[in-house]
Chains A and B, each alone.
Chain A
Amino acid sequence: MRAILRRELVVMGAQPGITAAIALHVGATLAFLLAWNQGVPLLPGTNVYEQLQVIEPWLLVVLLSWTAARCLAPERGDRMVLLSVLAAVPPSRIILARTIAVVVVLALVVAAAFPVVVIAQQMSAVPIRTAVTSLVPLLGLVVLIAAIATAWTVAAAERLAAWIGSALTSGLLLVILPHAFLPHLVDGIVWALTGVSITFVLAAWSDGALRYCHE
């Protein structure tokens, strides 16, 4: 498991998409702060910090889905079976390793914008502890998006389709799953558990569906 996880991390780490995603995330959140200083946008919430917390999950749904679709190792179908034979591990292990690897990368993208969150916290005179704990639900969201994006990259032949499918599915789940106005710790746990469930279902499916190559 360790070797296949290392392989997935190396393949993802070699993709230029991660740097772009970090730049986009930091840039988008900074732009939001600058725009808020001009008096727009006017979202529910008493201060810039809260408004940033409201908008962040939706920004991440689009951005993290793109990052995952762009950076995940591209094997699917017969190529996944060949990788399974080469590494002598069942496809379920590859799926698990791939999801863990993408969680690590997406968490990095989320954490990269933390300094901007701290600026918002300072501007709004909110305790720093609040800013730190606000990361937890976002990490739950990372697990959810990672699981959905992994499933879509296995299902869709094109990265673009995987991105759109992943973003739409994640967005839909974000609407369906009950969560507080400002993402809360419990919301993060629900999102993470949903992601873990999706991963296990996908892994169990892969051991049957990706057992053999197509004839």
Chain B
Amino acid sequence: MSATTTKTMIRAERLTKRIGDSTLFSNIDLRVDSGECLGIVAANGADRSVLLRILATLVPPSSGSIDIDGIDAVRRVFAVRSRLMYFGEPSPADGGIRVREHLDLVTAVRQPDRQCARAAIEDALRRTALPGDALVDELPPRLGHRLTLASSLAAGPAVLVLDDPFGPIEPETRRVFVECLREISQRGTTVVLGGREHDIDSVCHRIVRLESGRLAPYFHSDLVLSSAAGM
């Protein structure tokens, strides 16, 4: 990666999470650069999900700090949310909402230029082969995954957090998913991906493992993706 263009997008320091008497992890330091795709694996999937939910501002840390794109994600949680997207659990009920309307909603704040947003939505629909007029709550699961991708492509968030996106997914959808994730990363979006090693190793620049409440380097490949920071 080019040192001149690399920017730290996520900086977490001394991150600790306690629930009741149990400590899930403590004093975690994490730095993820712009355009980097970081994978997080864990012996305990629930702990991994909690870490991802903290990075996505869904739950607060017990102590420690997180900056996302230079903004304090604990103190200014609503400001940070316009810079990130999270997918990891069922979306809010979208009864009656069509795919294009859903994309319009997720881009409304993140893409203030509506003309650009409309073009990005059409491009995302084309790339993911999603029918724009289909009802969101009637999409089959494989198209539900594509909606996640289309949302990420259209909104172009600074940070994309995905928890176990490769669960029960068919090969063709997986191929499209991996291709789109690479493209999203190359466009400069920082991607944090939680999942099993064999699911995410073809997408990530770097993988860390959460074990016994600590983060440790697990895998590194500089062959998988071209340097995103230089894009």
A residues neighboring B (CB under 8 Å): 2-4, 6-7, 10-11, 13-15, 73-75, 79-90, 207, 211-213, 215
Contact B108 A11 (CB under 8 A): no
Q: Given the known inter-chain contacts A87-B106, A88-B110, please indicate yes or no for A11 contacting B77, CB distance below 8 A.
A: no
Q: Given the known inter-chain contacts A4-B108, A86-B106, A89-B109, please indicate yes or no for A74 contacting B82, CB distance below 8 A.
A: no
Q: Given the known inter-chain contacts A11-B94, A13-B96, please indicate yes or no for A85 contacting B108, CB distance below 8 A.
A: no
What's the minimum C-beta distance from B224 to chain A, rounded to whole angstroms? 28
| Distance of A2 Cα from B104 Cα, bound (Å) | 11
Contact B82 A82 (CB under 8 A): no
Q: Given the known inter-chain contacts A84-B81, A85-B81, please indicate yes or no for A215 contacting B105, CB distance below 8 A.
A: no
Q: Given the known inter-chain contacts A88-B109, A212-B58, please indicate yes or no for A79 contacting B92, CB distance below 8 A.
A: yes
B residues neighboring A (CB under 8 Å): 19, 50, 53, 56-60, 77-78, 81-82, 84-86, 89, 91-97, 101, 104-106, 108-110
Contact A2 B53 (CB under 8 A): no
Residues of A contacting B: mostly:
helix
Contact A10 B97 (CB under 8 A): yes
What's the minimum C-beta distance from B49 to chain A, rounded to whole angstroms? 11
Contact A11 B97 (CB under 8 A): yes
Contact A7 B93 (CB under 8 A): no
7 closest A-B pairs by CB: A14-B96, A3-B108, A88-B109, A83-B92, A88-B82, A90-B78, A88-B81
Return chain B residues, CB-CB under 8 Å to A81. Answer: 58
Return chain B residues, CB-CB under 8 Å to A74. Answer: 93, 95
Return chain B residues, CB-CB under 8 Å to A87. Answer: 105-106, 108-109
Return chain A residues, CB-CB under 8 Å to B86. Answer: 85
Contact B59 A14 (CB under 8 A): no
What's the minimum C-beta distance from A80 to chain B, rounded to whole angstroms? 8
| Distance of A86 Cα from B160 Cα, bound (Å) | 11
What's the minimum C-beta distance from B144 to chain A, rounded to whole angstroms? 14
